[in-house]
Structure 1
Amino acid sequence: MKVYHSLSENMLTVNMLLSVFFLSDSPEKPRIEPDLKDLKEHQSVTVTCSAFTPCPHSPPELTWNLQQDSLRQTEKNTNGTLTTKIQENITLSDTHDGYNIRCSARYPVIGGNKTAETEVTLSVSYAPKDTSASISPSGLVSAGSWVELSCSSRAKPPPSFTWFRNSEHGDINVSEGKVYSFNVTEGGEYYCVATNDLGQTRSSVIIVTIKGSGLGVYTKIKILGSVMLYGSIIIFQCWFRFSKRDKKDKEEGNVANRVMEVQAS
């Protein structure tokens, strides 16, 4: 039984060596796993590149465009064949979407090397980013004229857009869609929100101002409120400092009076 087992191992070694010596002109390409489709940002994934290994003493050299010091391992499969692999853990972000991972396996053969390469493209979904709003025409507008507000954002899958108008009673939903066109009757502040299954972001505020009307009512109220708030803070600080100084002056005066009384007695 031991003789048969030893013979079997020798035959496997011989077959591996022959595979090295007579490797085909197109060696087997390495495999990149897992399937790198339908991934999401913030997800952590372990990417593996593996290649058939004809000889355990001369494993293929694996290289890729990820971290170059990835640990190389050679493992024995259930059928007795060998596989060499490298691994790298990646925490995904929107910048990984569309990124190409390339892995090469270089096999040593008589007279040189033979190389096979595999390439896969990452597909990563992510929440809306860089959401912004623009207005046309820009600047002051005439009452009764039309303006067009446009919203843009990077997202995968593509986002839906919602427009809001600031008011003293809270934010009002005024439109759905990438573009919001309306006839200007009064000034106001507008912003858009981009939303998909992974989240949402809002743009900065766009102020629509009618010629000759100055600032809108809501904007005036906000400015007046800010002025009153800061004014109250300044008045309180002045009163507090004056009170402390007046108290200190009184205390010093009382001490001086007591000293004079002692001296007089």
Structure 2
Amino acid sequence: MADQSVRMVTAIVLQSVFFLSDSPPKPSIEIPGDLKEKESVSISCSASTPCPHSPPQLTWNLQPDSHNMTEENTDGTFTTKIQKSITLSHEHDGFIITCSARYPVNEGKGVKTSEETKTLSVSYAPKNTSVSIRPSGLVSAGSWVILTCSSRAKPPVSRFTWFKTYRDGPIKVSEGAFYSFIVTDGGVYYCVATNQLGNQTSSEIHLSITGDLLVGDHFIVKVLGIILLVTTLVIFECWLKSRRSTKPQEDEVEIDYVNMVVE
């Protein structure tokens, strides 16, 4: 009984000293370190309780109407606490936790409030992975195209891998956030974004070619046309050179014939 009376008197004295300032101390939010998606963690908010018979009322945005618990510490002081267990997802990253403590004063006739905030930092595997193409729409054979892979991840994506789909299955064609190449045929492409927590595959993007002929036929026709043009120029140059070399001989024959006629 004596110990309990001493504690009561001590609590009253502490409460009187506690509220000499304009505002009470802020509550404390405890968050486990190294948060990752899909993990279940327990987050708590606690506040000093000078008088256990008149504890502060804690509220936060993690859960409305949270159950307040007042606990006695090993040193004889008291703490009021609320807590909640949650399964983390990438949507929790950047979430701001706000915890308020309302202390009754003047025998419950008044209230003093203090508040604390903390931001969650949650690591997660790549999300919203997508592919874009430039130029968009139909492209012609022999032109350049640039494929871009984008993704949201924490930590950031460490590797982008590009694949092209064939009849026998996908084949890796490149690495990096950008993949540029000269178009020779159409096809279906996609990328895979990877970080240390996992990976995600983008949706497929279809590269379409303009014209009635197949892209392979366009390429072959262009190559054959170039070869034919070069061959024609070479033949014409050779004929021109041979023509120039035979012309003096023809002039000499014509002069001899004229001399014979004169004689």
Instruction: Specify the TM-score bucket, using the shorter chain as the normaliser.
Output: 0.7 to 0.9
State how 1:39-78 maps to structure 2 within 5 Å: 39-78=35-74
Q: Is the 8 A contact 1:23 1:109 kept in 2?
A: no
Could you tell me which runs of 5 or more consecutive residues in structure 1 were left unpaired when the two chains were aligned.
Answer: 218-265
Deviations 1:63-112 (A, max 9, x none): 11111122110000111110001111111111110000000101111252
- Confirm or deny that 1:33 pairs with 2:36: no
The equivalent residue for 2:98 is 102
The equivalent residue for 1:195 is 194
Per the TM alignment, residue 26 of structure 1 is displaced from its structure 2 partner at its CA by 2.8
State how 1:165-204 maps to structure 2 within 5 Å: 165-204=164-203
- Confirm or deny that 1:208 pairs with 2:207: yes
Question: In structure 2, what is the Cα distance between the partners aligned to 1:119 and 1:216?
Answer: 60
Q: Is the 8 A contact 2:12 2:51 kept in 1?
A: no
Percent identical: 61
Amino acid at match of 1:176: E
The number of residues matched between the two structures is: 213
Amino acid at match of 1:210: I
Please give the TM-score of this superposition, normalised by the length of structure 1.
0.74
Per the TM alignment, residue 47 of structure 1 is displaced from its structure 2 partner at its CA by 0.9
Amino acid at match of 2:114: A
The equivalent residue for 2:222 is none
State how 1:152-171 maps to structure 2 within 5 Å: 152-159=150-157, 160-171=159-170
Q: Which runs of 4+ in 1 moved over 3 A?
A: 5-8, 213-217
Amino acid at match of 2:183: V
Q: Is the 8 A contact 1:19 1:54 kept in 2?
A: no
Cα RMSD after superposing both structures:
2.1
The equivalent residue for 1:85 is 81
Question: In structure 2, what is the Cα distance between the partners aligned to 1:107 and 1:42?
Answer: 36
Could you tell me which runs of 5 or more consecutive residues in structure 2 were left unpaired when the two chains were aligned.
Answer: 217-263
Please give the TM-score of this superposition, normalised by the length of structure 2.
0.75
Q: Is the 8 A contact 1:209 1:216 kept in 2?
A: no
- Does the C-alpha gap of structure 1 residues 216 and 61 become closer, same or farther in structure 2, counting only changes over 3 Å? farther
Deviations 1:119-140 (A, max 9, x none): 0000011111221111111222
